[in-house]
Amino acid sequence: AELENFEKSGLPLRRPNSMNNYGVLVNEMGMSGFMTRLQEEITQPISSVLFPVQGEWLDHHHSFSVRYTAGEDLGLDMHSDDSDVTFNTCLGKPGFTAAGLTFCGIMGRPDHRLFKHRYVHAAGRCVVHLGRQRHGADDISEGTRVNLIMWNKSQAFRASTLSNPPYQQEEAEPSEQCLSYTHDRDFGRHKEMTSKQRQHARGWCPPKGFEFQG
């Protein structure tokens, strides 16, 4: 309700990130303190257990909501997050359908573009993953889905050599569901690109010479 009220208030809104067009920057609506306490008491302890390298010293965050519905954003192309550990909580609304989140490999690893798991959102449930893990949201087919997302970040981890390992050559042809029309320079070799997708294409991945050579 607070997210909806803020959106209807007439106050200026910034996009939550570079790919989503609809949502709210939670830190800008007076909830920064609450989200920081949430990080200290909830996301930090969980992250340190699940991902002890990336999540041991979380010290800041980018928190926002995203909304998917007909006539707005329907889904989200494959991407990775500007976070070290991401917490993605589904707030609803009840009645939405087609709420899959497809996970592939870790950025820069040989399995970066290979399918790993398909997660299905349900209201009240949270999925936790590394920011560098490639993932994308299926198009919603009915209703409205709102998610609260916290990009947890660690200055200590980002200052270490572990945060930027050498890019590794792909071990196999990419899985079709893991391709990104936004980021993959070879998307058109695997799938036909629509004119709308072409408008967003800024392909760089994988770097030249690191694609599968088989």
CB 26 within 8 A of CB 62: no
The rounded distance, in Å, linking the Cα atoms of 23 and 114 is 29
Share of the chain above pLDDT 70, in %: 94
- Is the pLDDT higher at 132 or at 100? 132
What pLDDT is stored for residue 148 in this prediction? 95
Tokens 């989140």 belong to which residue? Answer: 101
Candidates 7, 8, 3, 25; CA nearest to 16 is: 25
Across the strands, what pairs with 100? Answer: 120
CB contact burial 179-206 (16+ within 10 A = b; e otherwise): bbbbbbbbbeeeeebeeebeeebeeebb
Joined tokens for residue 58: 């979380």
pTM: 0.92
Maximum pairwise Cα distance, the chain: 55
What pLDDT is stored for residue 30 in this prediction? 85
Q: Predicted confidence band at 98 (pLDDT cuts at 50, 70, 90)?
A: low
Whether residue 1 has pLDDT greater than 70 = no
